[in-house]
Amino acid sequence: MQATVQQFPPFREGTAHLAHDDHGHHEHHEPNFWQKYIFSTDHKVIGIQYGFMSLCFMLFGFFLMMLMRWQIAHPGVPVPVLGPLLEKICGPMAAGGAISPDLYNSFGAMHGTIMVFLGVVPLAFAAFGNYVVPLMIGAPDMTFPRINMASFHAFFLGGVVMLVSFFIPGGAAQAGWTSYSPLASTIPTNGQAFWLVGMVLLITSSLLGAVNFIATIIQLRAPGMTWMRMPFFVWAQFVTAFILLLAFPPLEAAGVLQLMDNVAHTSFFLPTGLAVGGQLADRSGGGSPLLWQHLFWFLGHPEVYVLILPAMGIVAEVIANNTRKPLWGYKSLVYSALFVGFLSFIVWAHHMYLTGMGQKIATFFQTTTMIISVPSVIILTCMFLSLWGGSIRINTPMLFALGFLPMFGIGGLTGLPLGLAAADLYLHDTYYVIAHFHYVVAPGTIFALFAGVYFWFPKITGRKMNEFWGRVHFWCSFVFMNLVFMPMFAQGIKGMLRRMSDGAVNYSAARVPNAIDTLPGSVMELNTWILWAAIALGVAQIPFIINLFWSISHGEKVENDNPWDATTLDWQTPTPPPHGNFAHEPIVVRGPYEYSAPGHATDFTPQDEAEGPSAPRTPTAHH
């Protein structure tokens, strides 16, 4: 608090409060706009580039979802307001402004792709990882700054290719975000080829990023930053990077093979005797549709942990900081994260119980799936226990972090029935899966990402985001998020199939009154409720968007470089950190969460504060 400023003698005096001062003493020329914001090799700029792009993509993916929810609630009714625009862009697929089944399929495929590969992963891993990891370990930058830049550019190109595919004849990919063959090779649109090229670019981007992250964490830790002194966030990113490094290439291989199927007319994933539209396809056959699913889910499942681990890392940092006490079970957290990372490679086929791959294989994957829930529960339990006995500060980041815990808990626990083949056979193709997965990723991961945005915003800009509107954003999002996804569990258990472009009207009691096991009106009605909840959820994001941009120039200025009184190195830098990050080389002398250490003048002890409980750090100690 008042002591913090004194902890940053001469190096930072004078610079600490000048948020917009140019700190680059190493730069002898003023970089122009292109050098500074587009072709920057500074990890912080790249992190912000990733952050901005991925937030835009998430908003876009959200709009696709709103259109789909409209179609589900009001099948065949023209979309209000956006209808004419939709018809202009998508042509006959949106005749009269209504969403055709083809268009619905392409929105579904692209919503998933955009949210996962262009939204959440780049934000959780690339944006936060890029900005925060080098700061947390006391590094001047990433090990390979230019590769880092290339990584962002590949990501950008991949995003462009994905977006362009909406405008080609026949529209974007329609085979779901999982792109199962032979469907993906038989739909008469080039959207799938665009999807594959886009994916190869995105995979390249994440590969370059992953190599960079691992090398940075291994090579550029500051003196004294031993492995067990690294903040949990860094560990989470480290494991995530390994998952990306090793799980994505098989999907790249699969992508190359499917591209060959679509462009060179090979039959890697096309079985013998494949008929398309009642005609025998002109293909050699002999391929295996299951092969695609294996290769896809070999990435697909580890990908879930790519989505969740960085989020857990953010939540851990926010919780430790706001409970003002050390994280409970730091070592358990670290080992659990490592174990999750390892085990995530051998659970993939639990997405494939319905394929009839065989009971023995299913049993193996059931077992590993049950085992992987153990470390996940350990992580969540450690975070809950960290709250025990803390003098908890409630602020927006903390609210989102606290919201994450039960929401991720619901997402995780509802996954257990899906991990068991017998229950999964019934639930797999229903809305239950949609609800389960979205509880993990939307109120789970995305809440953690919001926590991260509110938490690190002051370091990036030197100003805090507005607290009142932050709380409005949290409470509205919290309520409406649950109103969107909770009813889907009920719909799924009642047997409503996912992927139906008409909201399952054809299976409703109203449409087919005499059939057995039709969907009653109460279940169908939920479609309308979910639509309104989704619209309200969209409205609830407006305060966030305005708050984010408004606070850059009008937010409350931070009083010092460490406004949250945090211990980790990212807060022991000038604000915003200059090119090269630290005013001096930090020397780490203690673990990451030294909060409320007995005998210390303040309730936090930064990792690089010189030893001795009351000795203030002197400038000479670091020369």
Partner 1 sequence: MEIPYTVQNRPDTGIYNAKLGIWLFLASEVMLFGGLFSAYILLRVGAEPGMWPHGWLNVTLGTVNTLLLALSAITTLLAWAACKVRDFTKFKIFHACTILLALIFLGIKSYEYHDKLIHYEIALANGKFADGHLVEKSADFDLAKKTGTVTLHGHIVEDRKELMDLRSPEAQAAKHDEITIAATDIKKMENYGPKHNTFTAIYFTLTGLHALHILGGTVVIFYFWAFGGAMWKTDPERFTNRIEVSGLFWHFVDLVWIFLFPVLYLT
Please say whether the beta carbons of 165 and 195 come within 8 A.
yes
Decide: helix, strand or coil at residue 463: strand
- For 107-168, the three-class secondary structure string (H helix, E strand, C coil) is HHHHHHHHHHHHHHHHHHHHHHHHHHHHHHHCCCCCCCHHHHHHHHHHHHHHHHHHHHHHHC
Q: Is 252 in the site for partner 1 (CB under 8 A)?
A: yes
3-class DSSP state for residue 508? strand
Candidate ranges 149-157, 158-166, 246-254, 366-374; the one touching partner 1 (CB under 8 A): 246-254
In the shown chain, the binding pattern of residues 16 to 55 toward partner 1, with x for contact by CB under 8 A and - for none, equals ----------x-----------------------------
Q: Which is nearer to partner 1, 141 or 424 (CB)?
A: 141
User: CB atoms < 10 A from the CB of 577, how many?
Assistant: 23
Quote the least distance from Cβ 94 to partner 1, whole Å: 35
Q: Does 143 bind partner 1 (CB under 8 A)?
A: yes
Q: Which of 68, 124, 125, 141 binds partner 1 (CB under 8 A)?
A: 141
Sketch the per residue contact string, 535 through 554, with partner 1: x for CB under 8 A, - otherwise: --------------------
Which of 298, 450 has the CB closer to partner 1? 298
Cis amide prior to 134 (ω within 30 degrees): no
Closest CA to 232 of 5, 401, 53, 391: 401
Cβ atoms of 413 and 489 closer than 8 Å: no
Please, which residue, 184 or 257, has the CB nearer to partner 1?
Answer: 257
Using CB under 8 A as the binding rule, whether residue 78 contacts partner 1 is answered as no
Contact status: 224 vs partner 1 (CB under 8 A):
no
* Distance of closest approach, residue 52 Cβ to partner 1, in angstroms: 24
**Binding span for partner 1 by CB under 8 A among 63-71, 143-151, 501-509, 548-556:** 143-151
CA distance 346 to 398: 34
Look-up: residue for tokens 């995105």? Answer: 202
> Which one of 31, 91, 101, 140 is in contact with partner 1 (CB under 8 A)?
140
Q: Does 298 contact partner 1 by CB under 8 A? A: yes
How long a stretch of residues is the chain? 623
Query: How far apart, in Å, are the Cα atoms of 384 and each of 243, 339, 341, 403, 442?
Result: 26, 20, 21, 12, 20
In the complex, least distance from residue 275 CB atom to partner 1, rounded to whole angstroms: 18
Q: Residues 46, 254, 334, 569: which binds partner 1 (CB under 8 A)? A: 254
DSSP secondary structure letter of residue 582: -
**Would you count residue 363 as binding partner 1 (CB under 8 A)?**
no
* DSSP for residue 9: -
| Amino acid at site 263 | V
Number of Cβ atoms within 10 Å of the Cβ of 505: 17
In whole angstroms, the minimum distance from the beta carbon of 41 to partner 1 comes to: 10
Q: Of the candidates 50, 125, 248, 593, which one interacts with partner 1 according to CB under 8 A?
A: 248
| The one among 95, 157, 215, 434 contacting partner 1 by CB under 8 A | 215
Binding-site member from 272, 359, 363, 618 for partner 1 (CB under 8 A) = 272
Q: What are phi and psi of 463, to 5 degrees?
A: -135, 155
How far, rounded to the nearest angstrom, does the alpha carbon of residue 300 sit from its chain's CA centroid? 14
Which residues, 6 or more positions from 175, have their beta carbon under 8 angstroms from its beta carbon?
A: 105, 109, 183, 184, 187, 192
Q: Which is nearer to partner 1, 164 or 291 (CB)?
A: 291
The only residue of 20, 28, 29, 264 in contact with partner 1, by rule CB under 8 A: 264
Q: Which of 178, 288, 332, 368 binds partner 1 (CB under 8 A)?
A: 288
By CB under 8 A, is residue 266 in contact with partner 1?
A: yes
Would you say 250 or 329 has its CB closer to partner 1?
A: 250
Rule CB under 8 A: say whether 144 interacts with partner 1.
yes
**CB 407 to partner 1: min, Å:** 33
Out of 245, 497, 500, 587, point to the residue binding partner 1 (CB under 8 A).
245
Specify the amino acid at residue 520. Answer: P
Asked whether the bond before 543 is cis by omega within 30 degrees of 0, the reply is: no
* Separation CA 331–CA 261 (nearest Å): 47
- Name the residue with tokens 């992508």: 255
Q: Taking contact as CB under 8 A, which single stretch among the options 144-152, 159-167, 383-391, 472-480 is the one that binds partner 1?
A: 144-152
- Among 68, 579, 588, 606, the residue binding partner 1 under the rule CB under 8 A is 579
Q: Which of 576, 548, 551 is nearest to 561 (CA)?
A: 576
| Residues binding partner 1: number (CB under 8 A) | 47
Say whether residue 218 binds partner 1 (CB under 8 A): yes
Question: 574: number of CA atoms within 13 Å, CB side?
Answer: 26
346 lines the binding site for partner 1 (CB under 8 A): no
153 Cβ contact partners less than 8 Å away, ≥ 6 residues apart: none
What is the smallest separation between the CB atom of 201 and partner 1, expressed in angstroms?
A: 15
**Cβ(222)–Cβ(210) below 8 Å:** no
Kindly tell me which residue out of 123, 161, 199, 295 binds partner 1, with binding defined by CB under 8 A: 295
Q: Is there binding between residue 283 and partner 1 (CB under 8 A)?
A: yes
d(CA 471, CA 454): 11
Residues interacting with partner 1, by CB under 8 A? Answer: 26, 140-141, 143-145, 147, 207, 210-212, 214-215, 218-220, 245-254, 256-257, 260, 264-268, 272, 283-284, 286-288, 290-291, 294-295, 298, 579-580
